[in-house]
Amino acid sequence: MKALILVADGFEDLSLFVPWYRLREEGFDVRLAGPMMHAVAGVHGYRIEPDIRIHEVNPSEYDALIIPDGVAVERLRLREEAVDVTRTFMQDGGTRVAAIGHGAQLLISAGVLDGRMVTCDPGIRDDVRAAGALFRDEAVVRDGNLVTARGPDDLPAFCALFVRALAAARV
């Protein structure tokens, strides 16, 4: 199975690296997609190189999409190709989508939260409600193909639930 993680400068390091390595432990081929093909830095200074540019992504080649937390989400949501890719993944009900913390902002920009049950960083809960989502103040929430987490402190619960959701999709 293949998973895609969207990246840009300002990603929250833990919310990128923990799911990335956890999915690799499960045997996933995990790719990083960024706006450009140059290194991007996390908020704690870790640098990574994207494998592919976002506008080159073919969502049908992937089984999962992960949107990490961090100020990178603000940069991604201003790029139409990131919004379009996210919308496409969400509209394909068989693809699992995960958003951690502020990652829900990209889902808002994609217009895919209406009627969905989600959690997110508490600082944007009013934004997800305004987008039509039902906010739950829980570590992790699953609604169909969408799994959301509040932030880095909830990564153990997030990874456990997301891996189970992906395993169920394999069957």
For the four alpha carbons of 155, 98, 125 and 144, in that order, the dihedral sign comes to: negative
Q: How wide is the angle at C-alpha 107 spanned by C-alphas 62 and 168, nearest 5°?
A: 40
Q: How far is CA 65 from CA 7, 88, 122, 124, 130, in A?
A: 11, 10, 22, 21, 23
DSSP E strands: which ranges in the chain?
A: 2-6, 29-34, 40-41, 47-48, 52-53, 64-67, 96-100, 117-118, 134-135, 140-143, 146-149
Q: How far is Cα of residue 22 from the mean position of the Cα atoms in its chain?
A: 14
Q: Which of 121, 106, 111, 108 is nearest to 33 (CA)?
A: 106
38, 44, 55, 102: the catalytic one is 102
Q: What 3-state class would DSSP assign to 27?
A: coil
Q: What are phi and psi of 147, to 5 degrees?
A: -120, 130
44 given a catalytic annotation = no
The residues annotated with a catalytic role in the active site are: 102
